[in-house]
Amino acid sequence: MATPALDPSWVDDVLLAGRPGRPDAAPALVLDTPITRAELRRLVEQRQAVLAAAGIGANGPGDSVAICLAPSLAFVANLLACWRLGARAALLDHRLTPYEIDQALQRLAPQAVVSAKHATGGPLRGFQDVQERVATYPGRPSDSPHALVQLSSGSTGPSKVIARTAADLVEEVERYVAIGAGVPQPGERIVCLASMVHVLGLVGGLLYGLHAGAELVIPARMTADGILAAVAAGTAPTTVLGVPFHIELLSSGPTPPRLPQLTGMTTGGELVRPAVYQTFVDRFGVRLGNMYGMTEVGVIATDLFGEHRPALTPAPGLRVREEGGELLVSLEASPYLGLSDPTRWADGWLHTRDAGTVDPDTGRFRIHGRNDSQVSVGGLKVDLTEVEHTLAALPGVASAVVTYEKAIEAYVMLREDATAEQVQAELATRLAAFKRPRVLRVVEQLPRTATGKLVRDRTLLVAASVKEGNTEA
């Protein structure tokens, strides 16, 4: 289905309109209470009026809005309202610090910002009750035909601005449809544990669910008991969508209750450890599937029934090839705003920065790890270079190296009179909690190569650390 970029008609045609298989009276979302498709349309229309009053869409499609809201009904309504006005939506994670949000807004220059005026819900809540506000911002209309903008940390330098057109989003939704078996069908349920701010929860959960007529359920609490309660609350066949962190959570603790409606779980991100995989399958007696994707593309490949583990099959319409040990994915245009970096995208191919091998006979591929500095912390992507650059820029830090070994660790040389506690306090104003080092070790001298480059070998860094200055966050 070809959809013109920024043409607002796609929101109703692909997502919101009722039709056979997705009736108006059926629940489209379930948070505290079910929200029918008809109710969701009314909420979107209300938020559309508020955005229009702030000037969005006054001159037709092409305006730009930043949305910084926790997963919530307000997030869904404002996002769809933004698209319905033909505006570009830039999504900012609500867990970012004010410093990070300000930096992002200066870079993205939206014309309006939707943020929380009031929100209730703690860190274990799957969603929040949000009263939002819309503020104008001294930005500019979109200078590209994209509907969605997200910031993603790259391997070096500042985070990259990733942009996707409406046609690209629709194409990804249709890839889910084409995958078929293992993907929730009309009338079924998706218990979504992945944040709707990021691509797995956004497209694989929200957009696909709306398109297919699958009920999207967000647990009230992201604990094992809370997730299982969300599964048990309905009788229709149910798929859980999450990341490996959630599998480990569900695989621990007491024996779960019988859940005949649970048909399986699909995880995005890195491959689940074999022991955890087997524990989950034995405990619940259902399939545990794997999905591989990127913010730039969305879903790239799947193994939804564990038939080819650890190999993955490219999603319909995508090609994956190997070049110099790196996996490349077919992508018609660069997903990055600004100048196209040929080391990330060139000639119709996206460089994933993932090491892997492709089976020439089947086309399936295996991932062997990252080629760059991006790691996953609790299912959230963190770029170690961003952390390192932010840490090294603090007034009390002379130099820094950041590594990852089960957790993010930092090794720093401090300036005179600076303390590790001061550094951690300042870093807390610059980086979201999930990005901050869990261990901070002070060293007198960071080891360097003969040419003066900082060494990132963790064994040498630990040996160089000054134990008296070590602290853990």
Which residues make Cβ contacts (< 8 Å) with residue 236, sequence separation at least 6?
187, 188, 189, 215, 261
Which secondary-structure segment (H or E) carries 466?
strand 465-472
- What's residue 285's pLDDT? 96
CATH topology of domain 9-367: Rossmann fold (3.40.50)
Sheet with 148-152, edge to edge strand ranges? 129-136, 112-120, 64-68, 88-91, 148-152, 160-164
Q: Which long-range contacts (CB under 8 A, 24 or more apart) does 58-61 make?
A: 59/141, 60/86, 61/6, 61/7, 61/8, 61/85, 61/86, 61/87
Amino acid of residue 140 = R
Q: What pLDDT is attached to residue 156?
A: 33
Those residues whose C-beta lies under 8 Å from the C-beta of residue 408, and which sit 6 or more positions away, are 375, 377, 382, 384, 387, 402, 435, 436, 437, 438, 439
**Greatest alpha-carbon span in the chain:** 70
Residue 406: per-residue pLDDT: 86
Phi and psi, residue 400, nearest 5°: -155, 150
Is the domain 376-472 a CATH 3.30.300.30 member? yes
Fold match flag (9-367 vs 376-472): no
In 304-425, beta strands by DSSP E? 313-314, 320-323, 326-330, 345-346, 349-358, 365-370, 374-377, 380-383, 397-404, 408-414
Q: Is the dihedral of CA 280, 281, 283, 284 positive or negative?
A: positive
Low-confidence residues of the chain: pLDDT under 50: 1-4, 153-157, 450-451, 467-469, 473
Query: Which residues are 465's β-sheet partners?
Result: 443
Residues 240 and 265: beta-carbon distance below 8 Å = yes
Dihedral class, residue 277 (left if φ above 0, else alpha if ψ from -120 to 50, else beta): alpha
**Helix ranges, 29-180 (H):** 37-53, 73-84, 98-108, 166-179
User: What residues have CB less than 8 Å from 211, skipping those under 6 apart?
Assistant: 14, 15, 173, 177
3-class state of residue 167 by DSSP:
helix
Peptide bond into 310 cis (omega under 30): yes
Stated as kind and residue range, the H or E segment containing 278 is helix 274-284
Domain boundaries, the chain: 9-367, 376-472
**Crossing angle, helix 37-53 and helix 73-84, to 10 degrees?**
60
Strand partners, 129: 120
What is the structure's pLDDT at 466? Answer: 55
- Tell me the two tokens of residue 84: 């319905």
Residue labelled with tokens 């979504």: 192
Among 413, 434, 438, residue whose Cα is nearest residue 424: 438
pTM, 2 dp: 0.86
Q: Are 78 and 132 in contact (CB under 8 A)?
A: yes
At 228, list the tokens: 């299982």
Distances (CA, A) of 154 to 132, 147, 337, 341, 400: 31, 21, 14, 12, 19
Q: Round to whole Å and give the CA distance between 60 and 86.
A: 7
SS3 50: helix
Tell me the torsion sign for CA atoms 240, 241, 244, 246. Answer: negative
Residue 2 has a pLDDT of 33
Give every CB contact of residue 462 below 8 A, 6+ residues apart in sequence.
441
Which residue in 436, 392, 440 sits closest to 415, CA to CA?
392
